[in-house]
Each structure stands twice: as structure tokens, then as C-alpha cells.
A = this chain, B = another copy of it.
Amino acid sequence: MAKLFNVAWIGTGVMGGAMAGHLVAAGHRVCVHTRTKARAQRVLDHGAGWADSPAAAAEGTDVAFAMVGTPEEVEAVHRGPSGILSAKNPPRIVVDMSTSSPELAVLIDLEARARGGRGCDAPVTGGDIGARQATLSIMVGADEDSFAEILPLLSVMGKTVVRHGGPGQGQRAKLVNQVLIASTMVGMCEGLALASAAGLDAQRLLESVSTGAAGSWALANLAPRVLRGDLEPGFMVEHFVKDLGLALDLARRLNLDLPGLARAQTLYTQLIRDGHGRRGTQALTLAYAPRATEHRFV
């Protein structure tokens, strides 16, 4: 029988709730905290305990996970006055699974070490479906010993778990993932816009191009949503813009000019200004054909 852990879980949104649920189902003792208690109800019903703050949830646990929205929230739940690291007996390992700043991940590790623990970053891809089905890809930044210790827990939540180096490297790997997506989305939306303007039938076009050198996950999964006018979020524009900003920060620190990424960030930021921040990333199509689709989406 696998070792059972005392675990804290901070952040039970759409993804975090499902991921914490897998830990409960695997027999671990899980204590959760989230900003709005009602959003934790499902995982509480499954047998998790409740705490009134991140610090209280983390008190005396083996591992504390966080799955929150922004680097500011990551900072608050770890370093804030009632954050995980302010627990009297802090967890041996803190694992941030949010997509956040690599530098912040390093800082959290340093502060965890100062209290006798370790910090790891373990952001994910695979979205709400991957979280529910435990098929996430998890990109880990951790020292080797910590990775070995948390691997059984991560394996309950994801299908592909890879260590990319020490603290911060999980976040950097995740940011590369977002860079790959950004320009692919630009290509997809420009291609669909050109097809539409040229009078091509987009369904037939996808038949011709989807399985060849132009093929991508985005073309297979998001282009059909664009064609049927479905801009509901699989992944939200405002979260994507946050990630692209982190990727641009990273590139700048490395003296790397990434013009495709910069252009994608500009286009997506404009989408937020136009009021589409809470739509899915496929809403980038509105940057190219706002009038053609207006009656369907606005």
C-alpha cells in the first residue's frame, strides 16, 4: 500500500477542486482552504477537512499544495500574514501548481528552506478536463529528493509528470508551453480569417489541412468551436494574457527577442480591452473578423 500523506490544499476552483478530490479518493488526509468556502463544498462532501486560512490548513502537514489564479495570489497564500509559510509547524514541502513567476517559485523555496522545508513548483496543462480525468501534464521544478517524495501525489492527478530542474524550472517549462500555444493561436485565427474572406468553406478547409503539416491541437479542438460560434472558455483570455506577460518577462531577463510572442500578447491584451477577457482563447478570432461574428458573440 502506498504511503498516505497529511496534505493541505489551497484553492478549490474548477481545476483545484478536481485535483484535491483525486488526493482524497486516493486515501490521503486532505485539509482545504479557498477564498469562497462554497466553492470547496464538493471536495468537503468527498471527505476533505476545512480550515479558515492557508496557514491553518498547512499546520503540521507533510505537503501543502496551492492552485490559485495569479502570482499575487500565489504570493499571498504562501507569504502573506496567514499564508502557508506562517504556520507554526510549516509543511515539509510546499508545492505551487498555479502558473506563476519562476522567480517567485525560487523565493518561496528559499523561505521554505529557512523554516526547514522545501519549495516546489508544479504547474499543469490539460485544462478542466485533464484535471477531472487526472490526465494532466505536470511540469515540476524541485530538488531530486522533494520530487521523489511528491511524485506519488502528483501521479494521482496527472498522466505525464516530468521534473525540469530545480525550483522555478517547472514554471519556465510551463511558460514555454504558453509561448508555443500563443503563435499557433495567431496562425489559426489568421488562417480562418483568410479562408472566410477568400470565400472558402472552412469545414472543407479543415478536412484538407488538419492532418498535414498545418495540423495542431488548436486546429483540431478550437477551430471547430470558432466555426460554430462557441467562444466559451476552455482557458480564459485574461489568464492567458497573465501567462504571456510572465513569458515576456522571462524572455526579457534572458535578453531574448520573441516578436511572435510580443505580437500575440498585444492582440490578446486588446481583446481584454474590448471586453472579451472572460471568453476562451479561441476568441482571438474576434481580432480578425469582429463584424462578421458580432451578431453571434456579442
Contact = CB atoms under 8 A, between A and B. Distances in A.
- For this chain, the copies found in one complex come to 2
Interface in A243-285: 247, 250-251, 254, 256, 258-261, 263-264, 267
A41 interface: no
Contacts of A186: 183, 187, 259-260
Contact of A188 (B102, B163, B180): B180
A146 to B, nearest CB: 17
A160 B215 contact: no
Given A182-B187, A183-B184, A214-B177, A125 B198 contact: no
A194 B162 contact: no
Contact of A256 (B193, B209, B247): B193
Given A191-B176, A214-B217, A254-B198, A139 B208 contact: yes
B137 A193 contact: no
Nearest to A139: B208
Interface in A193-229: 193-195, 197-201, 204-205, 207-209, 211-219, 221
Contacts of A181: 187, 213-214
A261 B190 contact: yes
Contacts of A165: 199-201
Interface string A123-142: 00111001000000101000
Interface stretch (A77-85, A107-115, A147-155, A167-175): A167-175
Interface of A: 102, 125-127, 130, 137, 139, 160, 162-165, 169, 172-173, 175-184, 186-188, 190-191, 193-195, 197-201, 204-205, 207-209, 211-219, 221, 235, 247, 250-251, 254, 256, 258-261, 263-264, 267, 288
Given A177-B208, A177-B214, A181-B214, 7 more contacts: A127-B213, A176-B194, A179-B191, A180-B216, A183-B260, A194-B247, A194-B258
